[in-house]
Amino acid sequence: MVDDVSTQVIVSATAGPLSAAAADEVRALAERAASADGVAPLSEQPLLWLTEPEAPVIHLRAEQPDGLVGYAQLDVGSQSSVRAELVVDPSHRRAGVGRALLARAQAEAASVRDRELRVWAHGDLPPARAFADDAGMAVVRELLQMRLDLTARPAVEPVLPPGVTVRPFVPGRDEDAWRRVNSRAFAHHPEQGRMTSADLRAREAEDWFDPAGFLLAERDGHLLGSVWTKVHPPGEHGPDPVGEIYVVGVDPHAQGLGLGRALTALGLDHLAARGLSAAILYTEADNTVAVHTYERAGFVRAGADVMFGSDTKSSRRGVTMGA
C-alpha cells in the first residue's frame, strides 16, 4: 500500500498487553484487511501476543476520529533488530496511515539500543513492495510457503533410526523437555528458538491444538525430536481445510540420522489420515537444500512472505525445519 494523501493520524504506543476490547479491534482490522487482500496481514505470533503480559512487544495504534485505522506490532525481544508487522484498514489506505505507523516504528526501534527496523509483508503483494520501495527499504529475507497434494502423495513407510519410538505429546508433562530440544534445534533461528513457556501455553490453548498431531521421537526415554502439525480451517488457505507441518525439530546430537525426514513423513501421514487433501509448510527461500528436498517430496511453491529492511544483509535460517 502506498500512501499519497496526508491526513491527521494519531499514533500511540503501548508496551504492555492490550485490553480485550483493544485486541478485538485489532483482530477485526486484520480480518478486514485479509478479506480485501486475500492474505492475512498479521501472522500467528503477533495475534497471540496482543494480550500476552510477557510478550516482548510494543503495540502501535493509528487512530483517526472514526476509530482505529492502522496497527503495528514491534517485536523488541531480538538482540539484532526490531521486527514489525503492520496493517492499515482498507478504507483508509493512501491517506498517510502507513507512513505514520512506519515513522513511529522506526523511532521506537531507534530507541531500543538503536536497532534496525525490519518489517514483514505477508503474501509479497505489489502494493507492499511499492510501499517499501517508497520508504527506501529492500528485501532482506524471503519465506516460502510450499504446498503438497496429499491425495497424490505416494505411500512411503517412514524409516526411524534404530531404537527410536514415536508417541503423541502429553500436555502438562512434555512441555519442558520439548522446549529444551526446540531451543537447541533452533538455537540460531530469529523466531522459533525464542519460544517461551508462555508462547507454548498460548498455542496449547488455541482451538487448533491437537496433541495427537504433535509427535515426539524418543530413544531410551530421551526426546530426540518432534513434528508438530496444525490444521487450518476453511478460508485461511483456500475453500477447504489445509494441514500444516508446523514445526519439525531435531536435537543437534541426533541430526544426520534421517530423523527429520521420517518425522515429516509421519506428520504428513497424520494429516492425510484426518482426510485432508493438502498440506503446507514454510521454509527460507535461500535454504536451497531444504527447498529441493521438499520439491522432491512433491511440494510446490505456493506463496511467499518477505521482510524489508534498510540493507540487503540478513542472518537467515530455516523456519519450519530444525532438522
The DSSP code sequence of 101-140 is HHHHHHHHHHHTTTPEEEEEEET--HHHHHHHHHTT-EEE
Dihedral of CA 93/95/96/101: which sign? negative
Cβ contacts of residue 168 below 8 Å, gap of 6+? Answer: 211, 212, 213, 214, 215, 216
- CATH T-level assignment (fold) for domain 146-322: Aminopeptidase (3.40.630)
Q: What percent of the chain has pLDDT over 90?
A: 82
Segment 145-155, tens digit of pLDDT: 999 999 999 88
Query: What is the reported pLDDT for 66?
Result: 87
pTM of the model: 0.88
Query: What is the reported pLDDT for 311?
Result: 54
DSSP 306: E
Query: What is the reported pLDDT for 314?
Result: 40
State the cell numbers at 21: 476490547
Helix (H) or strand (E) holding 71: strand 67-75
Q: Which pLDDT band, with edges at 50, 70 and 90, does 8 fall under?
A: confident
Three-class DSSP category at 155 = coil
State the cell numbers at 259: 530423523
Asked whether 161 and 263 are in contact (CB, 8 A), the reply is no
Q: Which pLDDT band, with edges at 50, 70 and 90, does 4 fall under?
A: very low
Segment 197-252, tens digit of pLDDT: 999 999 999 999 999 999 999 999 999 999 999 999 998 998 999 999 999 999 99
Query: What is the reported pLDDT for 181?
Result: 95
- CATH T-level assignment (fold) for domain 10-136: Aminopeptidase (3.40.630)
- Please check the confidence at residue 182 and state whether its pLDDT lies above 50: yes
Query: What is the reported pLDDT for 7?
Result: 59
Q: Which pLDDT band, with edges at 50, 70 and 90, does 78 fall under?
A: confident
Segment 10-60, tens digit of pLDDT: 999 999 999 999 999 999 999 999 999 999 999 999 999 999 999 999 999
Average pLDDT over residues 304-322: 59
Could you give the residue range(s) of every CATH 3.40.630.30 domain in the chain?
A: 10-136, 146-322
